[in-house]
Structure 1
């Protein structure tokens, strides 16, 4: 039996069904949903950056262990940790309906000073180990890049974090941060390719 035009209009599209399932999962299992989202988007960012800037040392092949390392970090560390940090932040400094700009700035300062430095340390240590480089190489990477990466993080991410923390509902903040990180990863990879070609 075929459906009438009115019945067809009432059926949700595949995208609407996926969004509905995602929102339901986000409501019922927020930590695992954010872990899956973060792991998937982080792995995708690494994969796309390898496509944009192929590794000449291995003939331009995708290093799947690196994709896995980024995805594992997103799933096990980034998604759950950032979720818990945002919960804690909202308890310590709850958003007020008539909040002044100063309150929003204080919330961002907490994120930038309390969350960003240890998060970057974890990233710079764990990802190289998961990629197979070992403890010594991870520590070396931290010593060589931590301060530069932290300063760049403060410069680039502060405005996005201001928007995220003060205007995005808590349940969507990890997703928003991952989406911005994906765009940022692709942007950096594109810049690296342009610099390599010039």
Structure 2
């Protein structure tokens, strides 16, 4: 088993080196689908809804992975590869006030409009109602993730690290959405 994991990791790193954007997009899509399946199970679903998981995979593939990939490229251009505490804190603040804000808005909107199939008016109302609470919760988790990312991980692994932790974040968002939807009825 250990050898299999080593070979899989080596192949992943090879793919990441040759096709970083595609590799990150596919990884993000896969992990978004995993998060959705976990959230459905945690929410007590007796039968999985594969369409919802597939739509979350599309989100990760087309938006999550690519935007995070390009965001880190921009951050590397702006700040370089410095990992001193002052630079890392600047990176964390910039990420949380730009990418984090935009990402949470995007995923809440996508989840409501595309995955849940709400009307545009209902989507706007839901996002307006939920956004600030989600953002505040995000600021409890993501600054630490960003700090670890910028301090200890090589640039090519930053998206993977965030994607793995996004499994828990997406589960939180989906579960929060379910609770809010139940309360609305």
Asked if 1:165 is matched to 2:155, the reply is: no
Query: What are the ranges of 5 or more consecutive residues in structure 2 without an aligned counterpart?
Result: 177-185
Asked if 1:32 is matched to 2:18, the reply is: no
Deviations 1:129-162 (A, max 9, x none): 2212232222122111011111110112211111
1:20-169 alignment runs, 5 A limit: 20-55=10-45, 60-96=46-82, 99-131=83-115, 132-169=117-154
Give the direction of change, closer, same or farther, for the CA distance of 1:143–1:186 in structure 2 (3 Å limit).
closer
Q: How far apart, in 1, do the equivalents of 2:6 and 2:148 lie?
A: 26
The corresponding residue for 1:14 is 4
Q: How far apart, in 2, do the equivalents of 1:118 and 1:181 lie?
A: 15
Q: How many residues align?
A: 175
Q: Output the TM-score relative to the length of structure 2.
A: 0.85
Q: How far apart, in 2, do the equivalents of 1:187 and 1:77 lie?
A: 19
Query: What are the ranges of 5 or more consecutive residues in structure 1 without an aligned counterpart?
Result: 1-11, 192-198
Q: How far apart, in 2, do the equivalents of 1:13 and 1:85 lie?
A: 34
Quick check: 2:36–2:174 contact (8 Å CA) kept in 1?
no
Q: Output the TM-score relative to the length of structure 1.
A: 0.80
Quick check: 2:33–2:56 contact (8 Å CA) kept in 1?
yes
What is the alpha-carbon root mean square deviation over aligned residues? 2.3
Q: How far apart, in 1, do the equivalents of 2:88 and 2:9 lie?
A: 30
Quick check: 2:29–2:60 contact (8 Å CA) kept in 1?
yes
Q: How far apart, in 1, do the equivalents of 2:145 and 2:172 lie?
A: 15
